[in-house]
Amino acid sequence: MNIQYIGMALMVMLAMAGCANAPAPVEQMKLTSQAIEQAREVGATEDSSDFSLAQAKLIQAQQAMREENYKMARVLAEQAELDARLAEAKAVSGKSQAHIEELNKQIKRLRKRLGEPE
C-alpha cells in the first residue's frame, strides 16, 4: 500500500519533470564524452583551444544537467562534441604534417648523399 503510493508519486513527479522541461540529453552527454576521449587519444591536448573549449563546455553541460536545465545542457553538449571532433581532426592533421616533414627531410638527406661528388 505504502510502496504503491510512493511509486505513484514518483511517476507523477517524473511525468511533471518531463512536462516542465526538455528531455534530459543523456545520449548526447555520452556522445560528447566519447568525442573528447577520442580527441585525447589521437593526441589533442589543452594546448588546443578547441579541445579546452570542449572540456569547459562539457563541465558546464554537466552542471546544467544537475540543475535539470536540459535545454542548456543539450546546447552545450552538442557544441562541445563538435569542438572535440574539430580538435581531434586538427591533432590528426598536425601529426600527418609532421610525418610529411619527416619524409621530406629523409628524402633531402638521401638526395644530398647521392648528389655528392663521386
Partner 1 sequence: MKGYFFAAPLVMSVALLPGCASSPAIDKTLLDAQLHFDRIKSDSNVLRSAPKDVVRAEETLNKAKQLSGYWGSDEDVRHFAYLSQRYSDIAREHASIRLQEEQATQLQLSLEHLQLQTREHELRLARERGDWLVDQLLSLGTARTERGLVMTLGDVLFSPGDTRLDPSASETVLKLAQFLRINPKREVRIEGYTDDQGDDELNQHLSKQRANAVANALSALGIDPGRLQTVGYGEDYPVASNDTTEHRARNRRVEVVFSDESGNFVPAR
Residue 8 CB, nearest approach to partner 1 (Å): 32
Q: How many residues does the chain have?
A: 118
Distance CA 69, CA 29 (A): 13
Residue numbers 84-113 binding partner 1 by CB under 8 A: 85-86, 89-90, 92-93, 96-97, 99-100, 103-104, 106-107, 110-111, 113
For the bound state, the minimum distance from the C-beta of residue 114 to partner 1, rounded and expressed in Å, comes to 6
CB atoms within 10 A of CB 65: 19
Cell 571532433 locates to: 85
Q: Site map for partner 1, 46-85, x if CB under 8 A?
A: -----------------------------x--xx--xx-x
Joined grid coordinates for residue 97: 604534417
Element counts in the chain: helices (H) and strands (E) = 4, 0
22 is an interface residue for partner 1 by CB under 8 A: no
Q: For residues 100 and 19, give the distance between their C-alpha atoms in angstroms, rounded to a whole number.
A: 55
- The amino acid at residue 67 is E
- Interface residues with partner 1 (CB under 8 A) are 75, 78-79, 82-83, 85-86, 89-90, 92-93, 96-97, 99-100, 103-104, 106-107, 110-111, 113-114, 118
